[in-house]
Amino acid sequence: MLRLSTSDEGFAEAFRRVVADRRESAVDVAKDVADILAAVRERGDGALADYTQRFDGHDLNQSGWQVDAETCRQAFEALKPELREALELAATRIRAYHEAQLPEDRDYTDAAGVRLGATWRAVDAAGLYVPGGRAAYPSSMLMNAIPAKVAGVERLVVVTPTPKGEVNALVLAAAHLAGVDEVWRVGGAHAVGALAYGTERIAPVDVITGPGNAWVAEAKRQLYGVVGIDMVAGPSEILVIADAKNEPRRIAADLLSQAEHDPTSQSILITDDTAFADAVAAAVETELAALATEQTARTSWSDNGVIVVVGSFDEAPALANALAAEHVEIATDDPEALMKQIRHAGSVFLGRMTPEAVGDYVAGPNHVLPTGRRARFSSGLSVLDFMKRTSFIQLDLAALEAIGPAAVALADAEGLPAHARSIQVRLGQ
């Protein structure tokens, strides 16, 4: 853990290094991924079967290519009631938040008599990547699948690796609840390629979302433009801005809830009180010792954790804007005042009773958020990622007479005479 104070002589440079550190693997998988995608494009299901045998150790033609809807339904029914109700509460709240996000169509005629508008429509088909093993979270299934269904996507396809043939029952249960239409037992870059290009068995989709390892992320990046993708995701992070009125172990728990995700995760505390900073640091150690995820959380906190002591919270917004963190928790007397000054953040958690973890599961807003300073220019996942807008224009002769001549002048100036001509022939010129 790195301890800084804004009054330190070398603070600016030390903080600049924190901001610049992407914590991303330097492994270059671009060539491997390009080869895999080319193989899937060329050989389709044959390539999928080969890669699955190699990476996941099972034969799709034996173990089955798909998990059927009935299996997903049974997984849901088999959940303990407490867990089923928790998933249902989460789904209901996520659905409500995303339904209110649906954009409105426009259709109006302006003073020049020109009818203008825009129509939003869902994409025909979307693919969700769901990682296997430790990172297979039912909450991620809900956060990706529900916005797609709310947007109106008719065909929602999940691909997920099942190493040695094993499937994750919780994820299947969430797929059932979210209304997923197809679940394919393939993962890795080859599964992403199958979604984009289509194979004999798997029809292509228009948009691919969902988290994955470096190969999956690179496959999405390479296929950007062939299909729509949600975003380039990196290691996640939390920034907690907290005053000394907080209970240290609560803030410690918040920091660790990020740290336990992955060794590359980052937890940062900004406080205006040195003694409180000490108390939180001590509480982190106490909490860590009791945590089943201690090893991951300790590595993350040790390698990437930061505590910054500021002279006053007036200094916090500039620091927060430079970090542009995925999650920003504001546990102060007047969180609203600080939020107004924070321009770059994926999601903000206001007040002392809003631990970030409620946003991961049940609050309603999406937990798929921009990481690695990308909140400067990108947003969390929403229904808009599964929709597209078509603009439309309609003129009658009077409207064309009103605005057409200006278009002719501009077309002439740009050296595009056929553009001008298409208007002139209608104006009898």
The catalytic residue positions are 326-327
Query: Minimum Å distance from CB 276 to its own copies?
Result: 16
Q: How far is CA 351 from the centre of its chain?
A: 24
Q: How many residues are recorded in the chain?
A: 429
Residue of 14, 69, 116, 318 that binds its own copies (CB under 8 A): 116
Q: Does 16 participate in binding its own copies (rule CB under 8 A)?
A: no
Report the candidate in 317, 239, 247 with the shortest Cα–Cα distance to residue 276: 247
Q: Tell me how many residues contact its own copies (CB under 8 A).
A: 123
Nearer to its own copies, 14 or 226 (CB): 226
Q: Does 335 participate in binding its own copies (rule CB under 8 A)?
A: yes
Nearer to its own copies, 74 or 101 (CB): 101
Residue of 180, 227, 308, 323 that binds its own copies (CB under 8 A): 227
Element (H, E) at 242: strand 237-242
Please check whether residue 344 is in contact with residue 376, taking contact to mean a CB–CB distance below 8 angstroms: yes
Q: Does 76 participate in binding its own copies (rule CB under 8 A)?
A: no
**What's the rounded Cα separation, in Å, for the pair 12 and 222?**
36
Q: Does 319 participate in binding its own copies (rule CB under 8 A)?
A: no
**What's the rounded Cα separation, in Å, for the pair 225 and 313?**
43
261 is in an annotated binding site: yes
Q: Does 247 participate in binding its own copies (rule CB under 8 A)?
A: yes
Q: Does 98 participate in binding its own copies (rule CB under 8 A)?
A: no
**What's the rounded Cα separation, in Å, for the pair 368 and 379?**
9
349: its two tokens: 């958690």
Q: Does 326 participate in binding its own copies (rule CB under 8 A)?
A: no
Query: Minimum Å distance from CB 311 to its own copies?
Result: 25
Residue 389 DSSP SS3: strand
98 is in an annotated binding site: no
Nearer to its own copies, 54 or 421 (CB): 421
Please check whether residue 360 is in contact with residue 367, taking contact to mean a CB–CB distance below 8 angstroms: yes
**Span 45-74, contacts to its own copies by CB under 8 A:** none
379 is in an annotated binding site: no
Query: Minimum Å distance from CB 5 to its own copies?
Result: 26
Query: Minimum Å distance from CB 376 to its own copies?
Result: 5
**What's the rounded Cα separation, in Å, for the pair 136 and 170?**
9
Query: Minimum Å distance from CB 50 to its own copies?
Result: 25
414 is in an annotated binding site: yes
Element (H, E) at 397: helix 397-413
**What's the rounded Cα separation, in Å, for the pair 202 and 413?**
50
**What's the rounded Cα separation, in Å, for the pair 330 and 350?**
5
58 is in an annotated binding site: no
Buried b / exposed e along 59-96 (16+ C-beta atoms within 10 A): ebeebebebeeebbeebbeebeeeeeebbeebbebbbe
**Span 154-193, contacts to its own copies by CB under 8 A:** 170
**Span 377-396, contacts to its own copies by CB under 8 A:** 377-380, 382, 384, 388-396
Q: Does 23 participate in binding its own copies (rule CB under 8 A)?
A: no
Neighbours of 25 (CB within 10 A): 13
327 is in an annotated binding site: yes
Amino acid found at 114: V
**Span 256-315, contacts to its own copies by CB under 8 A:** 256-257, 259-261, 287, 291-293, 297
Q: Does 420 participate in binding its own copies (rule CB under 8 A)?
A: yes
**Residue list for the binding site:** 236, 258, 261, 327, 360, 414, 419
